[in-house]
Chains A and B, each alone.
Chain A
Amino acid sequence: EAGVVQSPRYKIIEKKQPVAFWCNPISGHNTLYWYRQNLGQGPELLIRYENEEAVDDSQLPKDRFSAERLKGVDSTLKIQPAELGDSAVYLCASSSSGGRGENYGYTFGSGTRLTVV
Chain B
Amino acid sequence: TQLLEQSPQFLSIQEGENLTVYCNSSSVFSSLQWYRQEPGEGPVLLVTVVTGGEVKKLKRLTFQFGDARKDSSLHITAAQPGDTGLYLCAGWGYSTLTFGKGTMLLVSP
Q: Which residues of A contact B (CB under 8 A)?
A: 4, 40-45, 48, 56, 91, 93, 100-111, 113
Smallest CB-CB A-B distances: 7 pairs: A108-B42, A42-B99, A105-B45, A42-B101, A43-B99, A102-B92, A42-B102
Contact B97 A45 (CB under 8 A): yes
Query: Number of contacting residues on B, CB 8 A?
Result: 25
Known: A42-B99, A56-B96. Is A105-B33 also a contact (CB below 8 A)? Answer: yes
- Choose one: A42, A45, A103; the contact of B48 (CB below 8 Å): A103
The answer to whether residues A41 and B97 also contact, given A100-B92, A106-B45, A110-B40 and a CB cut-off of 8 A, is: no
Q: Is B78 an interface residue (CB 8 A)?
A: no
Which residues in window 16-45 of B have CB below 8 A to A?
Answer: 30-31, 33, 35, 40-45
What residues of B have a CB within 8 angstroms of the CB of A111 in the complex?
40-42
Q: Are A108 and B96 in contact (CB under 8 A)?
A: no
CB distance from B59 to the nearest CB of A (A): 18
A89 to chain B, nearest CB (A): 9
Main secondary structure of the interface of A (DSSP, over half): loop
- B42 in contact with A41 (CB, 8 Å): no
Known A-B contacts A40-B101, A41-B101, A42-B88; the reply to A56 vs B95 at CB < 8 A is yes
- A37 vs chain B, min Cβ distance (A): 9
Instruction: Report chain A residues within 8 Å CB of B40.
Output: 110-111, 113
* Residues B33-66 near A (CB distance < 8 A): 33, 35, 40-45, 48, 50
Q: Known: A109-B42, A111-B42. Contact between A44 and B99, CB under 8 A?
A: yes
Q: Cα distance A104–B50 when bound, in Å?
A: 12
